[in-house]
Amino acid sequence: MRTITPDPISLTTHHLHLGFRPTDTVLSSGTGFIYERGGITYLVTNWHNVTGRSPLDGKCLSDTLAVPDMLSTLFRSKDNPGACCREYLPLYSDEDMQVPIWLCHPIHGNKVDVVAIPLPLAICDRYQVFPINHIRFQTSFDTRVADDAFVVGYPFADVTHLQLPIWKRASVASEPDVDLEQLPKLLIDTATRSGLSGSPVVMQRVGIHGKTSEKLTGSEIIGQIRNFIGVYSGRIGADESRAQLGVVWKARVIDEIIDGASVKSEEPRG
């Protein structure tokens, strides 16, 4: 029997079903991925996935005006990563849905369409999780405009075989060093579907790579380099025919979200 060896980035992703109890009705699907910081494991996805609302105007994304109070996803067995078990995670710590369990950006709030959900220790003990920031990326190489990129996620509602994601090709469409609209985001050029919201976005460059534009010195990398550049959160504009451009929140916002929440929790209470 042939052994399947998925790309390590594929294993970091999770196909999310967002819904509400007690009927376990699924309202929408999306993508999330695993991230670890300070010894705590998080599931990262979009704010609009967990709230069912647009981050631009707060309106419900569902025609039924329903919003989710839980998400479910498959986790991989420690003994056999090909065997998965579905777990249900509440999105709020109270029945009135007033106290969310996810963490938002400490400065921009939901204007940054990214949240980090702390995973219960029981989940991390029971299953094998694959944090994306444990992958050895070539971080000494900066992302450049026109670099290839891939949105790694789940564009369809149906569960894929072995819960392996689709790699949707894109290219970096705006200058990565520029914060568009004074927010930590950039644009990619690609045609995508709503289920990819919350996907990690990875830059890829193939060839001979030097760290500067000077002559080759023998210390360059020949082959493929990759970098994790951020979190995909959907297309620009309601009219899909206007431009096939998508928003990527820069990878640094994840640490800002987690660290900002830690600082807030340590503030003295008056």
Task: For residue 178, give its domain range.
Answer: 136-251
User: What is the Cα–Cα distance from 129 to 77, expressed in whole angstroms?
Assistant: 9
Q: Answer yes or no: is 2 within a domain.
A: no
The answer to whether residues 107 and 27 belong to one domain is yes
Q: What is the pLDDT of residues 112-153, one digit of tens each?
A: 999 999 999 999 999 999 999 999 998 888 999 999 999 999
Q: Is residue 178 in some structural domain?
A: yes
1 located within any domain: no
pLDDT at residue 256, as a whole number: 97
Same domain for 217 and 148: yes
> Is residue 149 domain-resident?
yes
Query: Angle CA(122)–CA(125)–CA(128) in degrees, nearest 5?
Result: 120
DSSP of 173-194, one letter per residue?
-S-TTS-GGGSSEEEEE----G
Taking residues 102-120, report their average pLDDT: 96
What DSSP character marks residue 241? T
Segment 223-244 shows an average pLDDT of: 81
Number of domains in the chain: 2
| pLDDT tens digits along 237-260 | 655 555 789 999 999 999 999 999
Average pLDDT over residues 87-105: 94
How high is the pLDDT of residue 83? 86
